[in-house]
Amino acid sequence: MSSRSEPPEPAPPSRRPRSLLLAEVARATQRLADAGVPSPRFDAEELAAYVHGTDRTRLHTVADADFDARYWEVVARREAREPLQHITGRAFFRYLELRVGPGVFVPRPETESVVGWAIDAVRAMDVAEPLIVDLCTGSGAIALALAQEVPRATVHAVELDERALKWARENAEGTRVILHHGDARTALPELGGQVDLVISNPPYIPLGEWEHVAPEARDHDPQLALFSGEDGLEMIRGLERTAHRLLRHGGVVVIEHADTQGGQVPWIFTEDRGWADAADHPDLNNRPRFATARRVAR
């Protein structure tokens, strides 16, 4: 009588060992989270990609032997709340990669919705070659996005701070954006009554809120780009007059503001000052983020 042996139990599937870099990214994520960094995982991965010359989706391909210990130097800088973009030297805005660093305001994701509204507004105009002015341009992010996505537009950008203007010039090199060094409140008198759209992300933080501003902005962004009088609306009041001077009849102004200023900014663009259709608009998080108005004859 013969017996047949049972087949052996299948071996458990082997697990690929976690790469050294991914393990260190996990450690860095915890360190950044403990330091209060708002997006610790993203920042830890972005720093790893920067140091190792790759992108975030390919971190798993970095061999253990190629791990660069300089990663912990940049993690320590971010842990101290130095802006991620200052460490990597780049900021992403809509379809752009911009050069940024000390002396220039780092563009924020919420401003992308402001630009998106402006692009739709310009495209809806019956104008073959729109004329656009970006006031307080900083890195040039808004102006460059408009020039890229509205290819028949002429875009002028104004910046007062010479350090910020240096970054804008670097970003605008080889583009159609026309840069001007000057005060946004008195800029471009030669364009009076001709402009189709005026847009700005001006300073709008009240002076009394200094201590509540995130360290990345308070300690690293230029003060000129952040604070604007006791209520934060001083520059916006000045820009209202600039926009009215520059815009043609029917032209549109778009002004970013703090989410806590919803309802206040449209009241600056009143009918008796030559405006119509003043309104607030939400950002992607449904918080009031920017105001618009249309210039009319007064």
Same domain, 51 and 162: no
Say what the pLDDT of residue 14 is. Answer: 43
Is 244 contained in some domain?
yes
Same domain, 247 and 174: yes
Residue 157 forms beta bridges with which residues?
134, 179
Number of domains in the chain: 2
Q: Which pLDDT tens digits describe the chain residue by residue (298 residues)?
A: 444 445 555 545 444 456 889 999 999 999 999 999 999 999 999 999 999 999 999 999 999 999 999 999 999 999 999 999 999 999 999 999 999 999 999 999 999 999 999 999 999 998 999 999 999 999 999 999 999 999 999 999 999 999 999 999 999 999 999 999 999 999 999 999 999 999 999 998 888 787 788 888 888 888 889 888 889 899 999 999 999 999 999 999 999 998 888 889 999 999 999 999 999 999 888 899 999 999 997 6
Is 14 contained in some domain?
no
Is 9 contained in some domain?
no
Say what the pLDDT of residue 2 is. Answer: 44
Is 247 contained in some domain?
yes
Same domain, 75 and 141: no
Structural domain containing residue 41: 20-80
Same domain, 62 and 157: no
Is 10 contained in some domain?
no
Say what the pLDDT of residue 217 is. Answer: 86
Same domain, 166 and 34: no
- CB distance 164 to 104 below 8 Å: yes
Is 195 contained in some domain?
yes
Same domain, 218 and 275: yes
Say what the pLDDT of residue 209 is. Answer: 80
